[in-house]
Amino acid sequence: MQRLRGLVVALMTVGLMVGLGARSFAGPLLPPLPSFPVAGESKLAEITTPNDYIRIDWIVQPAPSGFPPDWFIYLYQIENTTGTLEGIRSFNVSFSTSPLTIAGVLDGDNLDNIHNLAGEVEPIPGTIDPSDADNYDVFISPTGVSWNIIVGNIPIGNIPKGSQSITLFIIDPRPPMYGVGVAQNSGKQWRTGQTLVQGQFGDPVPVPSPEPATLVLLSLGLGIVGFLRRRTQ
């Protein structure tokens, strides 16, 4: 899918500016998903270490010009705000993909420039590492999309503590629901849902819904649950 990068960069420049303008997304960090554009920040919890989290900034909006008007673009940025020195080697979102699903990465700090949520936690501005789309391997499987950080075509790169990724994207005709996101290193995993540490949870992330009419309504309920849980932490 890397061959689509040039096309998508051009479309994103127009689509993001038209769709978002100078708008600041204030409000809950895990909002409900029925209206667009919508932005949030999800916190993924490490499965063995208490209070060890990373953040995923995300935006969902109608796909940029050049795609059908009822398609969506999902934008993610990994923020390594973990309390340990671990780097992050990969990120995966789980959903039922289709032959129409497109995924890739965008050079530059595209998401940081427009993502502005009250109360979100950010690494030091401009700390993008790795900053080249060629350092990411994107894989679409029947069960989701994964982005792996690579060095010399070998998946051993990482996003170090205090840094963040460039923008990761999915373009899909289906509207969002909240689903599972997982970030990994060789020995650690940060994820959505209840973890092995009692009482520690990770927030869901938006993914294309396999049954739009039913699951978009479900996502509203999950968003409310996530918001209430965040307020109790």
Q: 3-state class of 5 per DSSP? A: helix
Q: What dihedral do alpha carbons 43, 46, 47, 50 form, nearest 10°?
A: -100
Most confident of 14-18, 149-153, 181-185, 198-202: 181-185
Contacts of 171 by beta carbon, 8 Å cutoff, 6+ apart: 8, 63, 67, 71, 72, 73, 74, 101, 102, 103
For residues 94 and 91, give the distance between their C-alpha atoms in angstroms, rounded to a whole number.
10
| pLDDT band at 185; cut points 50, 70, 90 | confident
Domain chopping of the chain, boundaries: 2-196
Whether the CB-CB separation of 48 and 197 falls below 8 Å is answered with yes
Q: What is the mean pLDDT of residues 205-217?
A: 67
Chain segment 168-180, per-residue pLDDT in tens: 999 999 999 999 9
pLDDT, mean over the chain:
76
Q: What percentage of the chain has pLDDT greater than the value 90?
A: 31
The token pair at 15 is 């689509």
Of 59-63, 138-142, 158-162, 210-214, the poorest mean pLDDT is in 210-214
| pLDDT band at 154; cut points 50, 70, 90 | low
- Judged against a pLDDT cut of 70, whether residue 38 lies above it is answered with yes
Q: Give the single-character DSSP code of 8.
A: H
Radius of gyration of the chain (CA): 16
Q: Answer with the residue of higher pLDDT: 99 or 132.
A: 99
Tell me the CA distances in angstroms from 188 to 34, 49, 52, 123, 195, one per residue in order.
34, 9, 11, 20, 12
Give the total residue count for the chain: 233
CATH class of 2-196: mainly beta
Q: What is the mean pLDDT of residues 142-164?
A: 85
